[in-house]
Structure 1
Amino acid sequence: MTLLRGDALSEAFDHGSAAYDRLVAASPGYHAHLRRSARRLGLPEGGRGLRVLDLGCGTGASTAALLAAAPLARITGVDASAGMLARATAKSWPQGVDFAHHPVEELAGRLEAGSFDAVFAGYLFRNLADPDQALDLVRGLLVPGGRLAVHEYTLGGSPAHLAAWRTICSLIIQPAGRLAGDAGLYRHLRDSVTRFDTAPAFARRLRRAGFTDVRVLPLPGWQTGITHTFVARTAAGPGGRA
């Protein structure tokens, strides 16, 4: 299967947005794992005075996870799918949370360089045509010493992890997609994971992109070896700002 990219993927998410929240709610640990990854950003003092970019925010599940971890932060959620973003903006959010409809590839001309203290990206990078370009963009949007957390399906590299993912897809994910009328989107989900980096490979990609202090952290339950949190930082600026 050819993976969905760009406008085709955005349109698929538009179509799937109506059922998306129900489907992920049925996934054991989905929201708890996002909250765990958001906490791993390690934002101090509840995020007071900090600016956080929720990159690929979808229907707002990752935004809610960030709010739980840093309730005093100012959070901007962006997504390429108008349908997913409409679901996010229809929810009730406190002051300090806003959303914008932008593909990642277009953010360079729309957001100021060095305008965020932290970036969170949930289930995003494997869906991008050029993840290296996106990482360069993210590094430029962060302040010196800024924090990055990536929550992503990245297999651990063992044949057992690949076998577990294929079993989960055949028994749960693809049948759910057919029931929701979005079989193509959920085939993309299956194949985007198997064709993307393993966890060690994505950690190397982060280092090549200029990030430091890169760590790969597992998630519990059925996602062990399938989904990981990657945390990293940009280099500190003059005077050692971190």
Structure 2
Amino acid sequence: MLNIEGLNQFYGGSHILRDISMTVPDGKLTVLLGRNGVGKTTLLRCLMGVVPTKSGTIAWRGQPFTRLPTYERVARGLAYVPQGRDIFPRLTVEENLLVGAASRKAPAGVPEHIYALFPVLKDMRARRGGDLSGGQQQQLAIGRALMSEPQLLILDEPTEGIQPSIIQEIGRTLRRLVDEMGLTVLLVEQYYDFAKAIADRYWVMNRGEIVANGLGADMDAQGVREMIAV
């Protein structure tokens, strides 16, 4: 389980994260929802050590992570798919995937299960990442994160700018990772229907604070759509 307790972060004089406390249970898909600018991406960057925390604690399966560098968090089972994907446009698909295995001691090529999850990547493994469509690049970014053999996969708005057919495919893949492979997934999302379709649990942020949480199946009854509506 991922445990976050009393997390605070500032940018200059702005209090971005305000005493954030939340949990992400093992083997479940947890969605964090909220409008633009409420602090969701900052929270993920704090979880990965890209941004330091001002106060509070982060622990994964009982191990304190709050002061660890990013590479140590990856080595201990976290993987991150950032908003915007950040693939390497001049590297091939296969080379991009192999970059994701840098934390492993002896990577031996791309495991077949990665290509089974994303068949299009196998078909295009010799093409440069920059030549792929937005949806294909998103699949590549997820595949690259999985190359580190994580226990917790953290994704920041993977549906942004993606065509509906690929959004559905990504949703099915995330559910497979949880239901069949036992991964824990934390997903930041604004697309309500996508989140509701795949979430086991949800949390809602507003102005840097957690304002609601519950079971994914209860999102309609608890008015979550209205909470995140612009």
TM-score of the superposed pair, with normalisation by structure 1: 0.31
Query: In proportion to residue count, which structure has more strand?
Result: 2
RCO comparison, higher one (Cα < 8 Å, 6+): 2
TM-score of the superposed pair, with normalisation by structure 2: 0.32
Query: In proportion to residue count, which structure has more helix?
Result: 1
